[in-house]
Amino acid sequence: MGAVYFYHLTRQPLEAALPKLLEASLARGWLVALRGRSPRYLDWLDQQLWLGDAAGFLPHGRAGGARDADQPVLLTTEATAPNGASCVMSVEGAEVSADEVRALERVCVLFDGGDAEGLERARAQWRLLTGAGCGAQYWSDESGNWVKKSEKPEAGAI
């Protein structure tokens, strides 16, 4: 059973934090579905990932292409991941379900602390997922490094 990690961005923007989290996921051998709510936002993220420095290039692609199944990181608005993702990263409040959390290695919910609406969506997701018995961790970068602030074990865990 997987877990859901909530990443509260307070000191760095998503485009700075995301590559590090993607690199860590790929280093674990996970394929990633990066799920957003709007194609336009994912277009912007796609550009940000291409603009990274050459040493830190992250192989990725947009869903809807002929090579979706081959993408280590697939940017999508859909709940399905043709690349066989074992990790879903949710941005801009994209929904994730308790069933996904249970089926995947990891679900990451990234949200901007300066966005009141995004913060409330993340809180609602926390309540929904932990209420469904999913294990969850809350991480903040307020100190300049990721620090775990809270953890709720999965229901029934000892």
Q: Which CATH number do you get for residue 63?
A: 3.40.50.10110
CA 36 vs. chain centroid, Å, equals 9
Position 28, amino acid: R
Buried b (16+ CB within 10 A) or exposed e, 73-87: bbbbbeeebbbebbb
Cβ neighbours, 10 Å, residue 120: 12
Residue 26 — φ and ψ, nearest 5°? -65, -35
Any domain includes 105: yes
Contact 102, 134 (CB under 8 A): yes
| pLDDT tens-digit series, residues 125-137 | 999 999 999 999 9
When pLDDT is cut at 50, 70 and 90, the band that residue 144 belongs to is confident
Any domain includes 34: yes
Look up the domain containing 125 and give its range: 3-152
At 17 the pLDDT is 92
| pLDDT tens-digit series, residues 1-38 | 689 999 999 999 999 999 999 999 999 999 999 999 99
Please give the Cα distance from 144 to 133 (Å, whole number): 31
Count of CA atoms in the C-beta half-sphere (13 A) of 52: 21
Any domain includes 157: no
**How many domains does one find in the chain?**
1
Contact 48, 62 (CB under 8 A): no
Any domain includes 57: yes
Any domain includes 158: no
